[in-house]
Amino acid sequence: MEITIYQGNDHSLPPSDITIVIDVIRAFTVAHYAFLKGAEKIYLVETVDDAFRIKEQFPNYLLAGEVMGLPIEGFDLDNSPVSLMSKNVMGKILVQKTTNGVKATLHSLHAENLYVTGFSNARTTALFIKEMVHDLKREHQINIVASHPQGDDDLVCAEFIKGIIEGRELLTKKDVTERIRKSVVAEKFFDPEKPEFNPEDIAYCVKEVPGTFLMKVNKNGGIPMIERFQI
């Protein structure tokens, strides 16, 4: 088994049996909580215009995301897990556009199996993949993508997942959460001069939520979508 960590959202990866794309702050934390709140599926799009085109065809879909971390005018949801908790997404289909996580995922579609996660679902994801590669009893190429180009938040989560899959947890939960909180990506959430970023979002991003599902990307349709993959 070979596990390689890549950092960034604009890459050309070698073929893999499994690719895991990470966006801790905040895209795939938001996606995870959306599924916990009953969302049906989440389409992934590269541009704001793509999202609006889908909305024109399917008015009941909810547009979610950000540009440069900020809400998008005309979208139903922003990229804040705190904000999401007050919304009704039960049975809803979301369309997500974000700067790093979604973009990195759309650049990883050639993987045989493609998963996304934040830290909230990282352990569940890693333990499932560890069991899966063990049961198949063959060599695997696993790519882990820390989608933020400079963010230690995604990188430490990638290192955490890699350790679990390899059966050697070198990073504790405390190690990971401290590095997420101290990452360059998290800084603006604690900056009093940037009230548009809610520090409570980081509390959601560093909280593990044990669960029974992964977020797997279905690439078979015209538009890639994240689905709830029950384990």
Domains of the chain: 2-230 (3.90.1560.10)
Determine whether 127 is exposed, middle or buried from the number of CB atoms within 10 Å of its CB (0-12, 13-18, 19+). middle
Q: How confident is the model at residue 137, as a pLDDT?
A: 63
Q: What is the pLDDT along the chain (231 residues), one digit of tens a residue?
A: 899 999 999 988 888 999 999 999 999 999 999 999 999 999 999 999 999 999 999 999 999 999 999 999 999 999 999 999 999 999 999 999 999 999 999 999 999 999 999 999 999 999 999 998 877 666 789 999 999 999 999 999 999 999 999 998 889 999 999 999 999 999 999 999 999 999 999 999 999 999 999 999 999 888 999 999 999
Structure tokens at 203: 């509390």
Structure tokens at 111: 């993987």
